[in-house]
């Protein structure tokens, strides 16, 4: 018997482009000293005070079924945070708590797509975007964001792709590029959505990691609040990746239907994890800045090293815990460079090609090891690029 197309088509039966990552993990498991600059996992664990709050909640009995939309306290706390950041009135009725941002992405697309509807996303993209769209029965269509424009989508390219589409998924600060969308980019996104009657799904999980510029949430743009679903998460802001807790912020009418969907799928998020998230958010901006601080330092380390040579070029790293590096002067693809670096120097980075066509000839470096190791790894990477370029 055949399985449903929506499940067999998630990866379309092809490689997911993460071969270097899997190879690095296998080498590390075998005992080799691999430095992993691959995935967005903090090099610190969840703060002990957050874990203490989680444990206290569990020991106090919040281990049964929690409210499917999320606890009142957490929904209200998330709403206050979003309102303070965006300036847009937001209440608990605009919020549903989800098991992480990935499920939020799935829920959001389930809410706005019918089977066969076209859904747009920007290339380069986070690895799960196309599969998420296919998984809900949508048809994915990419908008190529050019490296010469710092991977910011243009109105021309968005408008050309939007004909016949139903939704647009965007991500700023961006994974994998580290780019923060500027005001003209957001205005182009808003105009495209309004001209083509698109739903906008805005993945804002890196909103606490902005190094240059300003994070803009599109709910704050004229005419966008009724057509925008914002994805948020505790994973990056509070180093709670394994706790699997996120949210969707959107119009009340959409949230009501999402609650029905959650009732028939996830049936909510454990109450003691929600209580820990509520505690964490109520520690305020200072706690978020503490988690973000290492990446700000490492960005400065990397930029100083990159400025001292002329082979590798950095895409403007304005946010998130990644740098996208242009290695095209070496004559290698991102994939060939990443495999060569891993084989020769035991350093693992992600090929740009893992994130779509637009980032070919680039690599993504995650700033997720301690400062000293990160410095050493970047120096080795740059020397490897220079040596490769000299024998091209």
pLDDT digits (tens, 9 = 90+) for 260-298: 999 999 999 999 999 999 999 999 999 999 999 999 999
Find the domain containing 129 and state its range: 63-283
167 lies in the same domain as 269: yes
Residue 35 token pair: 């430095």
Q: In the predicted model, what is the mean pLDDT of residues 85-111?
A: 97
Q: In the predicted model, what is the mean pLDDT of residues 23-37?
A: 94
Domain-located, residue 55: no
Using one digit for the tens of pLDDT, what is the confidence trace for 327-373? 999 999 999 999 999 999 999 999 999 999 999 999 999 999 999 99
pLDDT at 238 over 90: yes
pLDDT at 244 over 90: yes
Domain-located, residue 112: yes
297 lies in the same domain as 207: no
| Boundary-marking domain end, from 228, 255, 283 | 283
pLDDT at 15 over 70: no
Domain-located, residue 54: no
Looking at residue 319, the DSSP 8-state letter turns out to be: B
152 lies in the same domain as 14: no
- Longest CA–CA separation in the chain, Å: 65
Q: What is the pLDDT of residue 9?
A: 85
Cα–Cα distance measured from residue 325 to residue 52, given in angstroms and rounded to the nearest whole number? 39
E strand intervals along 84-190: 95-98, 118-123, 139-144, 165-171
The pTM of this model reads: 0.96
E strand intervals along the chain: 35-37, 95-98, 118-123, 139-144, 165-171, 199-203, 228-233, 246-249, 313-314, 322-326, 347-351, 362-366
Domain-located, residue 53: no
pLDDT at 13 over 70: no
94 lies in the same domain as 210: yes
Domain-located, residue 315: yes
Cα–Cα distance measured from residue 201 to residue 224, given in angstroms and rounded to the nearest whole number? 11
Q: What is the pLDDT of residue 162?
A: 98
Residue 359 token pair: 């980032």
Q: Comparing C-alpha atoms, which of 196, 276, 271 is closest to residue 235?
A: 276
CATH number of residue 315's parent domain: 3.90.1150.10
26 lies in the same domain as 144: no
| Boundary-marking domain end, from 283, 306, 324 | 283
DSSP 350-372: EEGGGG-STTTTEEEEE--S-HH
| Boundary-marking domain end, from 229, 260, 283 | 283
Mean pLDDT of the chain: 96
Q: Comparing C-alpha atoms, which of 284, 225, 233 is closest to residue 251?
A: 225
Q: What is the pLDDT of residue 392?
A: 57
pLDDT at 117 over 70: yes
Using one digit for the tens of pLDDT, what is the confidence trace for 156-211? 999 999 999 999 999 999 999 999 999 999 999 999 999 999 999 999 999 999 99
SS3 (DSSP) at 218 = helix
Residue 254: pLDDT band (50, 70, 90) is very high
Number of Cβ within 10 Å of residue 187's Cβ equals: 15
32 lies in the same domain as 114: no
């Amino acid at each position: 018997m055949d399985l449903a197309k929506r499940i067999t088509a998630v990866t379309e039966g092809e490689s997911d482009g993460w071969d270097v990552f899997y190879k690095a993990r296998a080498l590390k498991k075998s005992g080799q000293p691999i430095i992993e600059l691959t995935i967005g996992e903090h090099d610190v664990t969840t703060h002990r005070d957050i874990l203490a709050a989680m444990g206290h909640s569990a020991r106090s009995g919040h281990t049964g079924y929690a409210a499917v939309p999320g606890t009142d306290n957490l929904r209200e706390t998330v709403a206050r945070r979003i309102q303070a950041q965006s300036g847009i009135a937001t209440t608990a009725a605009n919020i549903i708590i989800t098991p992480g941002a990935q499920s939020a992405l799935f829920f959001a697309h389930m809410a706005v797509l019918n089977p066969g509807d076209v859904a747009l996303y920007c290339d380069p993209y986070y690895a799960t975007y196309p599969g998420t769209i296919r998984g809900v029965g949508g048809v994915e269509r990419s908008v190529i964001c050019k490296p010469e424009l710092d991977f910011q989508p243009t109105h021309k390219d968005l408008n050309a792709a939007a004909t016949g589409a139903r939704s647009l998924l965007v991500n700023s600060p961006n994974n994998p590029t580290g780019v923060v969308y500027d005001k003209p980019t957001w205005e182009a996104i808003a105009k495209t959505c309004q001209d083509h009657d698109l739903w906008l799904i805005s993945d804002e999980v890196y909103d606490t990691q902005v190094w240059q510029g300003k994070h803009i949430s599109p709910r704050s743009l004229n005419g966008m609040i009724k057509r925008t679903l914002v994805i948020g998460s505790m994973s990056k802001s509070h180093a709670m990746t394994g706790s699997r807790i996120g949210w969707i912020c959107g119009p009340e009418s959409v949230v009501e239907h999402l609650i029905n969907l959650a009732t028939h799928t996830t049936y909510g998020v454990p109450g003691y994890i929600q209580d820990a998230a509520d505690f964490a958010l109520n520690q305020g901006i200072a706690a978020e800045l503490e988690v973000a601080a290492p990446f700000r330092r490492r960005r400065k380390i990397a930029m100083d090293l990159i400025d001292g040579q002329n082979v590798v070029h950095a895409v403007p790293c304005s946010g998130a815990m990644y740098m996208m590096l242009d290695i095209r002067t070496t004559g290698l693809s991102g994939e060939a460079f990443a495999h060569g670096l891993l084989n020769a120097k035991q350093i693992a980075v992600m090929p740009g090609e893992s994130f779509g066509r637009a980032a070919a000839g680039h690599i993504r470096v995650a700033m997720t090891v301690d400062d000293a190791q990160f410095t050493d790894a970047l120096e080795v990477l740059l020397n490897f690029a220079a040596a490769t370029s000299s024998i091209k």
